[in-house]
Amino acid sequence: MKTLRIFFAILPFLGASLRAEERRPNIIVIMADDLGFGDLSCYGAKTFETPHIDALASGGLRFTSGYCTASTCTPTRYSMLTGTYAFREKGTGIAPPSAPALIAAGTPTIASMLKSVGYRTAVIGKWHLGLGGPEGPDWNGELKPGPLEIGFDYSFLLPTTNDRVPQVYVENRRVLNLDPADPLWVGDKKPDENHPTGLTHRDTLKMDWTHGHNSTIHNGISRIGFYTGGEAARFRDEDLADKWVEKSVAWIEGNKDRPFFLYFASHDNHVPRLPHERFQGVTPHGFRTDSVVQLDWCVGELMKAVERLGLSDKTLFVFCSDNGPVMDDGYADGALEKRGEHRAAGPFRGGKYSVYEGGTRTPFVTRWKGTITPGLSDEVVSTMDLYASFATLTGAVMPRDAALDTTDVLDAFLGVKNARGRQEFVQQDNGSGGTFGFRLGNWKLLRHDSGKSRNFVVEETLGNIEVPRYQLFDLSVDPGESEDLFVTRPEVASRLETRLNEIIASGRTRP
């Protein structure tokens, strides 16, 4: 044991090959939903506290330049699992309710890579990457392909996102608790004239809609899309977080004796924000930040389980978000009216749907007790780089024709002295139609081919405003992206524009 303790004490300073020879750590990736840089007390929130995530951060590395790859959920989740920029793959924008699997069966992923070196693997929480073959999911049959076809041993899913139908759990390849006598139907058209929707039965809603989100009603909330049946399989929104924790803790307990990888995909604080009753009203800003506190509780429960099982010094935690924040995202939940002095994006401009820093720069924490020295890091890291970094950590092999854009920044994740993070990084919005942010060192180029940006100021309601096609900012002195230098620094602008075009055209950035 003494030798083992000495090894872990010097582990951050050893080469990658030696790290891979030691017992591989358990890995828990916790991905929040729509969480902004300023939404945690360890990142500057003043009006409420997130003690469990704060403890995770104080015991590990808190990054100030941690990014997701896109300002919406589906493309970020795609690139995190595949190690490839989502803009390279058509159809990876926000997935509709009955989207087919966006990651084809057999595609190499983080899960399949870790499974190849002996890990047990699970995804629990929001999926939103489609299920089933080209025709979409067979909700009453076998939902295949899905997570189990790309390397996960176990999955317990919210299949889409909770503002989209249907409100059911999928365990492995089946809708949980589905009664064959009450089949589930999901469609994009109203099934009959008498079908209640947010338009026809608005007075019955317990949470009103502000735009879209006005189709089938479930649990007093209208959604995107239509569905009928499956009554025994439907869940209550308020119980989602508890169910994720229940299933995650049970799975960790069942796999504690061998290396495991858990992707805990929270739905907090995506709309509809309806936290459990015990969290409602715990913050001054309404259900949006009440949901952040619920997320914090989830993190605490996972940490407690790992500690109780004696796995803290054998477990690497990664905490991140799929994109930045948004206030009114389709429901009248008080997020705008009750925001007060709280600024969800912290010092940054923009939020969800935009490629300004507020859209993609989010909280990012790594913790490995006894291995990572607690501290603060300003190195640039991203969710997409978990793939290559975990490969180095575990000694796994990445196929040459997969994970086309991931970068090994393991030393930065572990806080190794003088380690460097990413030197260049592309950010995108929902689709791949010409909206990009490109960071090279401390310079950032924005490209809006449409001349418009959405959710430009996160404190205001959603909407498109006109912006120049190109903008240039020096993040070292202007992290809020307020002074456009595109005209005054043409040599820098030209260099970044050329490199961005090369990356888009090249098909890959990994050597």
Q: Are residues 397 and 430 in the same domain?
A: no
Length of the chain: 511
Residue 338 resides in a domain: yes
Q: Are residues 432 and 388 in the same domain?
A: no
Burial of 474 (0-12, 13-18, 19+ CB in 10 A): middle
Cβ-based neighbours of 10, under 8 Å, separated by 6 or more? none
CA pair distance 498, 286, nearest whole angstrom: 45
CATH number, position 452: 3.30.1120.10
Residue 36 resides in a domain: yes
Residue 148 resides in a domain: yes
pLDDT of residue 388: 98
CA pair distance 150, 153, nearest whole angstrom: 9
**What is the Rg, in whole angstroms, of the alpha carbon atoms belonging to the chain?**
22
Nearest to 429 by CA among 92, 107, 154: 92
pLDDT of residue 433: 76
Residue 460 resides in a domain: yes
pLDDT of residue 81: 98
Q: Are residues 67 and 204 in the same domain?
A: yes
Last residue of a domain, one of 388, 414, 440: 414
CA pair distance 364, 346, nearest whole angstrom: 14
Residue 6 resides in a domain: no
CA pair distance 177, 239, nearest whole angstrom: 16
Q: Are residues 227 and 327 in the same domain?
A: yes
How many structural domains are present in the chain?
2
pLDDT of residue 9: 40
Q: Are residues 187 and 165 in the same domain?
A: yes
Residue 60 resides in a domain: yes
Q: Are residues 304 and 452 in the same domain?
A: no
Q: Are residues 435 and 297 in the same domain?
A: no
Q: Are residues 300 and 338 in the same domain?
A: yes
Last residue of a domain, one of 414, 444, 476: 414
Q: Is 17 left (phi over 0), alpha (psi -120 to 50) or beta?
A: alpha
Strands annotated E in 272-340: 315-321
Residue 13 resides in a domain: no
3-state SS, residue 162:
coil
3-state SS, residue 120:
strand
Q: Are residues 168 and 229 in the same domain?
A: yes
> Is the CB of residue 151 less than 8 Å from the CB of residue 191?
no
- Alpha carbons within 13 angstroms on the beta-carbon side of residue 149 total 18
pLDDT of residue 462: 63
Question: 106: domain range?
Answer: 24-414
Give 209's DSSP letter.
B
Q: Are residues 223 and 148 in the same domain?
A: yes
User: Could you say which residues of the chain have pLDDT below 50?
Assistant: 1-21
Phi, psi dihedrals of residue 437, rounded to the nearest 5°:
-115, 135
CA pair distance 296, 58, nearest whole angstrom: 14
Last residue of a domain, one of 414, 434, 462: 414
Report pLDDT digits (tens) over 97-125. 999 999 999 999 999 999 999 999 999 99
3-state SS, residue 78:
helix
Q: What is the pTM of this model?
A: 0.94
CATH number, position 226: 3.40.720.10
Rounded alpha-carbon distances, angstroms, from residue 348 to 95, 312, 323, 354, 492: 27, 34, 13, 11, 22
Q: Are residues 405 and 439 in the same domain?
A: no
CA pair distance 266, 321, nearest whole angstrom: 9
Residue 19 resides in a domain: no
Q: Are residues 236 and 313 in the same domain?
A: yes
